[in-house]
Amino acid sequence: MTMDDGETPILQVRGLRTYFETDLGVGKAVDDVSFTLRRGQIIGLVGESGSGKSVTGQSLIGLVDRPGRIVGGEILFKGRDMAKLAPEELRRLRGDRISIIFQDPMTTLNPVLSIGTQLIETVLAHYPSVTPQKARERARDMLGKMGIPNPEERLDAYPHQYSGGMRQRVAIAMALINDPECVIADEPTTALDVTIQSQIAHEVKDLCRNAGTALIWITHDLGLVAALADDICVMYAGRIVERGRVEDVLGKPLHPYTRGLMDAVPSRNKRGVRLSQIPGSMPPLLALPGGCAFHPRCWRADQSDCRVSPPEESPREDGGALRCHHPLEDSIVMAR
């Protein structure tokens, strides 16, 4: 958690915009997103379904599904703009220096290729001079590190012979096999049993900490972010509405949306108290309300500013930032 301000960040995202241009209109899935990821840092990217957090992750690695397209902004990976790289240069980075873990382990592995083949090809795609035996040893060690018993034998097994949790371990091993400098974890534990969720999350955290790998953890689980991440970015309707260090933002949320998310999390302190919820739901991308996109659901929204002008990013006192016309001033959070 050291702040090496002198060195270049692993990833600097500036004004990223990813739009889905359809016949029905333009869906602004990611709209002016900026953040910085330092070496070895862990950022939690939080939001409801449809907030654009997954599309942000896909944009970073250049894998946005059609008709989505990065229409603006910069993704500086160690100073090089990934959004402007030639396909071949992007391919060389992907799976080697920057990799991604997807959500559903049941569908992310190829059913007709053995686990070993799928791990080994990841090494060989980037290091063709490595012998297949060496790549196989590397694959076996990675499986072992991910806590898969009998890794040597399990290399020859196929995805259908693995359980969901084990498959996700394989997918994580695949993402980490080339010692990347940055890993994007797109809700990798959401599809798993609760008991395995935090286990896997902490294993990934430890692996990244030990290897100095930066990590972007995309999730809707605030509890998980509190336990894993250094920084947090809260997304709503394609924008980061509040960001900062985890303890700062969750300790003193200034954006009503962040506060609403926190209040919706069950906890021991709130036993017997009715859980509050944010009224309404995330608006569809093609019909975002004008002004602040959150205003129809916000109890602090006024009739003028919030409906008309989208709030600009303003700094928080502790170094974070937020987008809100009427931030929560009081610091009494849990008492609500």
Which of 257, 226, 254 lies closest to 315 in space, CA to CA?
A: 254
Nearer to another protein, 122 or 189 (CB): 122
Q: Checking DSSP bridges between strand 321-322 and strand 68-77, what pairing results, if any?
A: unpaired
> Residues in the site for another protein, rule: CB under 8 A?
61, 63, 65, 91-96, 99-100, 102, 104, 107-114, 121-122, 125-126, 158, 160-161, 171, 174
Minimum distance, C-beta of residue 55 to another protein, in the bound complex (Å): 13
Nearer to another protein, 161 or 210 (CB): 161
Minimum distance, C-beta of residue 166 to another protein, in the bound complex (Å): 16
Minimum distance, C-beta of residue 257 to another protein, in the bound complex (Å): 30
Nearer to another protein, 159 or 253 (CB): 159
Q: Residue 96 in contact with residue 34, Cβ under 8 Å?
A: no
Minimum distance, C-beta of residue 96 to another protein, in the bound complex (Å): 6
Nearer to another protein, 167 or 255 (CB): 167
Minimum distance, C-beta of residue 142 to another protein, in the bound complex (Å): 13
> Among all chains, which residue has been given the structure tokens 């303003």?
314
SS3 category, 172: helix
Minimum distance, C-beta of residue 283 to another protein, in the bound complex (Å): 27
104: number of Cβ within 10 Å: 16
Q: For 311, list phi and psi in degrees, rounded to 5.
A: -65, 135
Nearer to another protein, 128 or 149 (CB): 128
Residue 119 vs residues 114, 128, 167, 326, 336: alpha-carbon distances, Å: 9, 14, 12, 50, 50
* The CA-based dihedral angle spanning residues 190, 198, 171, 79, taken in that order and rounded to the nearest 10 degrees: 90
Nearer to another protein, 6 or 111 (CB): 111
